[in-house]
Chains A and B, each alone.
Chain A
Amino acid sequence: MSPGSIRPISIRPAPMGTDPAILVLGIGNLLWADEGFGVRAVEAMQRDWVMSSNVQLLDGGTQGIYLVDRVRTADVLVVFDAVDYGLPPGAMKRVEGDEVPRFLGAKKMSLHQTGFQEVLALAAMLGDYPEHLLLIGVQPVELDDFGGSLRPEVKARIAPAIAMALEYLAQFGVVAQPRSDSSVDTHDLPHPSLALNAYEAGRPAPEVACRIGDERFLASLSGRAIHRGERA
């Protein structure tokens, strides 16, 4: 889906001077295949859309405690992440409000070092919790592929996930226009060498860099392990 094909966003201007601080945060580790979904979603959102200045997009990576302050200062928080919902691989699901921490913590698939659930709890403890919270998660297909990129099923969810975020943000008066120029501000996005295309194109060939997943046994102890299946 190209950005232009997303249905028009309903426009409801916010009252003057009361624009809420909106943070769209992608979390996860882009070096681990579908773990990179959240970061890739904000990257694409910044590339394809122009939004009002009260909307900030941030590649949060696996930074836990560093994100607490950004979360505290947001009135509206939208999080993109790979989430183990126990759904079929590639399934997308939105969760709102108080339900969010549960999904970010119940089956932690990645050590977003200080888990993001904990980031939310720390923000709450300091008395600054976003008034509105939306999690847009995609069930990963593959995590255990170090240096790999998003699988096609997950990559295909980026545009619908962005559409879902924009639809949600419309109620806060956010107007999004498809970007017509190439003047993308990549400030809070991954370094250009890590941008999706460069990252994928530069991956070492299997002949020069081993791609055999290490059969790390430990995940099975804490829930369902996500593997590519049995390996020789």
Chain B
Amino acid sequence: MSVVTANGFELDTAGRRLVVDPVTRIEGHLRCEVNLDENNVIRNAVSTGTMWRGLEVILRGRDPRDAWAFTERICGVCTGTHALTSVRAVEDALGIAIPENANSIRNIMQLTLQAHDHLVHFYHLHALDWVDVVSALGADPKATSALAQSISDWPKSSPGYFRDVQNRLKRFVESGQLGPFMNGYWGSPAYKLPPEANLMAVTHYLEALDFQKEIVKIHTVYGGKNPHPNWLVGGMPCAINVDGTGAVGAINMERLNLVSSIIDQTIEFIDKVYIPDLIAIASFYKDWTYGGGLSSQAVMSYGDIPDHANDMSSENLLLPRGAIINGNLNEIHEIDLRNPEEIQEFVDHSWFSYKDETRGLHPWDGVTEPNFVLGPNAVGTRTRIEALDEQAKYSWIKAPRWRGHAMEVGPLARYVIGYAKGIQEFKEPVDKVLTDLGLPLEAIFSTLGRTAARGLEASWAAHKMRYFQDKLVANIKAGDTATANVDNWDPKTWPKQARGVGTTEAPRGALGHWIVIKDGKIDNYQAVVPTTWNGSPRDPAGNIGAFEASLLNTPLAKADEPLEILRTLHSFDPCLACATHIMGPDGEELTRVKVR
């Protein structure tokens, strides 16, 4: 029953099937099915999802200048990054150049989102895959304090502080409203931290929750508000008036100083809390080397954070661009987002129809026509599926490919590319973490490597916020206060027809919006989002996607508590929520466990 995929992974569907399934379905959710062998090792993985069904469904015929506001609503987490991608796509189509200050402000906005998202992801969406909250209740606060002080000079580390937090936690747990801690597999043998490390991490979970509100104030300053900050085709919708004293919306010195102080605090929190925690936790999981999947073979980044305005060439992007295929780290391929032969989406395993499903379509030519059919080997009914048939159509996610290759995107992909390019600010921190943990380079191609890359990138992003804030202030002091170019605001100035592409590196990976404008209105609009790349189903050549590849060969400590699956899927920071169902070999549901 064993087969080898086109991208070199061995699959065996003989063993019993386990299903990890979503609760809800509005924004895009993941369901995962795996086959386990007799030793509870994953031998086949099937990732399926529901994403939104094409942006053209809501955008066709609307004003391109408003597209960002709609795209900001499609996802509950990537709001600003979709908006930025959208305004870039429109500016690209219409040949609009933005002022240098707008570029700096956009970069600060994007880096703020990066730092915030990574921090929140680590502590609030991923840490509890490694940290046992219940174990923290039994920790010795004194020993916890000693541990914390041995890894960082972060001031909040006294025995009394940890005792207070522990008592608060106890009261919370005793009150019965476990809230975010409700669905953990507490006590699972897959948890390896001593109680003191657990208490330290849970304490920082609370501190991070309190601190994250500061970071997003930057969005309130530059985007006018948060949630849902404002964006503008042609620049940023914030006027600069350094001498102003609180004029509505204008950026004055006081606000610039506020941002500056938040940046300092962000750097400090990430470097003194997040990174030391990451390394401390990782040191207990050094032998958990699973989850690498495509990361050592095929990774891609569009690159982002243009140093100077209006130049998205590789040389100008501080987050590196490129593609690595066939595991050859010595060759970084350039990416052309306009080339119809490069990025293509396939649907032969997705619930959509193309005229010819052996071929992929470039996003400018993309179509979104639903076609929900189950394969002959699916178990269950159309409205209650017990097991999917991955030989047929099985996902609402299309399968994007770069020159036919399934690619992993996200922080690890960006760090692998940065490392392979020999860029010191990516290479040095990776080498340092590996040295500190006594691990070889290959160790980064793993679930933990993905989680570590996210932490390093959070630090990188925070320091780059400082760089762009200083650049912005210097430019303003030199007399340049322009934040928007409205020369082409009037649709009368636009060509009859235009096509554009906008890209960013969202926290969870490469994001692209492709727009076609006709007679001043949106004619087509396609987004290829990071989770589409990572969570993609199979393609006509039989390549499996990043989620699927990452789960293979992972042993589960307990099949009815698939913590290891969640660990690896969460390491991608997917924009999804999932719950688990445990099915017997005959498709009968054995237990049902809801998971964060």
Contact = CB atoms under 8 A, between A and B. Distances in A.
A118 B29 contact: no
Contacts of B56: 204, 209
B58 A204 contact: yes
Q: Which of B63, B230, B372 has the most CB of A within 10 A?
A: B372
Contacts of B60: 204, 208-209
A220 interface: yes
Given A122-B180, A125-B172, A126-B210, A202 B26 contact: no
A112 interface: yes
Interface in B87-144: 120, 124
Contacts of B179: 117-118, 120-122, 124-125
Contacts of A208: 60-61
Contacts of B579: 222
A204 B59 CA distance: 7
A193 interface: yes
A62 B575 CA distance: 12
Interface SS of A by simple majority: loop
Contact of B27 (A113, A205, A211, A212): A113
A26 to B, nearest CB: 12
Interface string B459-497: 000000000000000000000000000000000000000
Given A114-B124, A215-B382, 9 more contacts: A31-B73, A31-B74, A62-B75, A63-B76, A113-B575, A146-B57, A204-B58, A208-B61, A215-B372
A191 B24 contact: no
A218 B70 contact: no
Given A118-B179, A214-B370, A68 B213 contact: yes
Interface stretch (A46-54, A89-97, A103-111, A154-162): A103-111
Interface string A39-63: 0000000000000000000011111
A231 B53 CA distance: 17
Nearest to B79: A63
A108 B24 contact: yes
Interface string B552-565: 00000000000000
A218 B50 contact: yes
Contacts of A117: 179
Contacts of B62: 193, 202, 204
A69 interface: yes
25 contacts: A29-B27, A31-B70, A60-B227, A110-B26, A111-B24, A113-B575, A117-B179, A121-B178, A122-B209, A125-B172, A147-B57, A194-B73, A202-B63, A203-B58, A204-B56, A204-B57, A204-B62, A205-B61, A209-B56, A215-B383, A217-B385, A218-B21, A220-B383, A220-B384, A222-B23
Interface string A145-181: 0110000000000000000000000000000000000
Closest 4 CB pairs of A and B: A121-B179, A113-B76, A193-B66, A62-B76
A61 B385 contact: no
A194 B76 contact: no
Contacts of A20: none
Interface in B43-76: 50, 52-54, 56-63, 66, 69-70, 73-76
Given A109-B26, A118-B179, A222-B23, A127 B168 contact: yes
Contact of B227 (A61, A205, A212, A219): A61
Contacts of B351: 214
Q: Which of A69, A109, A194, A218 has the most CB of B within 10 A?
A: A218
B260 interface: no
B26 A193 contact: no
A97 B25 CA distance: 28
A144 to B, nearest CB: 8
Given A218-B25, A222-B24, A225-B383, A193 B63 contact: yes
Nearest to B178: A121
Interface of B: 21-27, 29, 31, 50, 52-54, 56-63, 66, 69-70, 73-77, 79, 120, 124, 168, 172, 177-180, 206, 209-210, 212-213, 216, 224-228, 230, 351, 368-370, 372, 382-385, 396, 575, 577, 579, 581
A21 interface: no
A66 B216 contact: yes
A210 B53 CA distance: 9
A112 B83 CA distance: 19
Nearest to A73: B213
A221 B70 contact: no
B60 to A, nearest CB: 4
Contact of A108 (B23, B58, B369): B23
Q: Which of B120, B383, B575 has the most CB of A within 10 A?
A: B383
A16 to B, nearest CB: 26
Given A202-B62, A204-B59, A214-B396, A121 B53 contact: no
Interface of A: 29-32, 35, 59-69, 101, 108-114, 117-118, 120-122, 124-127, 143, 146-147, 187-188, 190-191, 193-194, 202-205, 208-212, 214-222, 225
A79 B226 CA distance: 18
B53 A146 contact: yes
A212 B351 CA distance: 13
Given A64-B76, A122-B179, A188-B225, A221 B384 contact: yes
B467 to A, nearest CB: 25
Q: Which of B70, B74, B581 has the most CB of A within 10 A?
A: B70
B22 A218 contact: yes
A191 B230 contact: yes
Given A124-B179, A214-B372, A65 B25 contact: no
B53 A214 contact: yes
B70 A35 contact: no
Contacts of A221: 21, 384, 581
Contacts of A108: 23-24
Nearest to B57: A209
Given A59-B228, A61-B73, A111-B29, A216 B384 contact: no
Nearest to A32: B26
B154 to A, nearest CB: 19
Contacts of B581: 221
B368 A210 contact: yes
A111 B577 contact: yes
Contacts of A215: 370, 372, 382-383
A218 B66 CA distance: 32
Nearest to A117: B179
Q: Which of B57, B180, B209, B577 has the most CB of A within 10 A?
A: B57
Contacts of A222: 22-24, 579
Contact of A214 (B27, B50, B77): B50
B21 A217 contact: no
A64 B179 CA distance: 14
A147 B131 CA distance: 40
A62 to B, nearest CB: 4
Q: Which of A30, A60, A212 has the most CB of B within 10 A?
A: A212
Contacts of B69: 190-191, 193-194
B195 to A, nearest CB: 19
Contacts of B213: 68-69
A193 B57 contact: no
A209 B76 CA distance: 23
Contacts of B385: 217-218
Nearest to A225: B383
